[in-house]
Amino acid sequence: MNQTTAVPIRPLESQTKRPPAKWRKHFWGYLFLLPAVAVFFTFLWMPIGKGIVFSFYHIDFVKGDSFVGWDNYAKLFKDPEVTISVKNTLYYMGLGVIIGFWVPILFAIAISEMRRFQGFARIAAYLPYVVPVVVLYSLWRWLYDPVGPFNAVITKLGFDSVLFLTDKAWSMISIVIMETWQTFGSAMLIYLAAVLSIPRDWYEAAEIDGAGIWKRIRHITLPAIKNQIVLLFLLQLIATSQGFQTHYAVLDGGPNNATLTYALLVQRYAFSRQDYGTASALGVLMFLVLGLLAIIQYRMSNKGEA
């Protein structure tokens, strides 16, 4: 007697059925992203692409554009103002680190140690950040005036008055001090949130072991907020490398190009000299440097999250 084994046959539909494609699964998500992608492409990547193309052309709105190859870049290496602007920008970045970078960290630690009026201190530290720039520039021009409050105090102490805005040795320092006063509040809030997230048990254990406030800051607070310090340091370098607004509005690069930054030179080439091709070449070089800093910042951010 022959024995047969019945093999179940699956329906044709179940054999041919496949999971939906990834684009179908996320179709509505992609659809909602389209407007943002379109805006991002139109107002960011398209201008960047055109800027790279224009850097190889002589732009003339009357006679038409003409291809000049690498001439715009060659012109930059012969222009002494480019060297001056790069040195000033590096000097400005260095002053920003020396004078302004540690201010929000110190304020965040000081406020975190306060037992009373902590909320008031947060608001007071952040208020300069919301001051309109027109008011800010007028205020600091008055403070820096040869007969203003700062020089009144300096002369009372027996020193000669300082020409903060017209002396080449003081002009960039004066700008950094003004910008530090205005912007340190936003970074301070980030550091303060990081400091307040540190477990209080660590500090209590350190106090029991006899650690003073400076040892607690050195061995607990600063190591705990190390990632925030590194990331904000890179962000500050990116921001200060594009220094333009204050230098243009307060001194317009003066005195004698002492505050002429790289971004301000781009503006001069484009709108004062109407040399848009060379201005585009300057912008491309800045784009490459900032792109490198952004990559470093992105990797540090991922490392911090890990």
Residues 88, 157: one domain?
yes
Lowest mean pLDDT among 3-17, 52-66, 101-115, 142-156: 3-17
> For the chain, how many structural domains are there in total?
2
SS3 for 29-40 is HHHHHHHHHHHH
Q: CB-based burial of residue 172 (10 Å sphere; 0-12 exposed, 13-18 middle, 19+ buried)?
A: buried
Q: 278: pLDDT confidence band, cut at 50, 70 and 90?
A: very high
Residues 125, 199: one domain?
yes
Does position 19 have pLDDT exceeding 70, yes or no?
A: no
At residue 1, the pLDDT reads: 47
Domain range for 228: 73-303
Residues 130, 205: one domain?
yes
Per the rule left: phi > 0, alpha: psi between -120 and 50, beta: everything else, 275 is: beta
Residues 54, 158: one domain?
no
At residue 11, the pLDDT reads: 53
Tens digits of residue pLDDT in 98-150: 998 999 999 998 888 887 888 888 888 888 888 888 888 889 999 999 988 99
Q: What is the mean pLDDT of the chain?
A: 86
Residues 51, 78: one domain?
no
Residue 39 falls within a domain, yes or no? yes
Residues 171, 272: one domain?
yes
Residues 119, 65: one domain?
no
Does position 85 have pLDDT exceeding 80, yes or no?
A: yes
What would the mean pLDDT of 273-286 be, rounded to a whole number? 91
Does position 151 have pLDDT exceeding 80, yes or no?
A: yes
Q: Which of 37, 192, 36, 182 is nearest to 109 (CA)?
A: 192
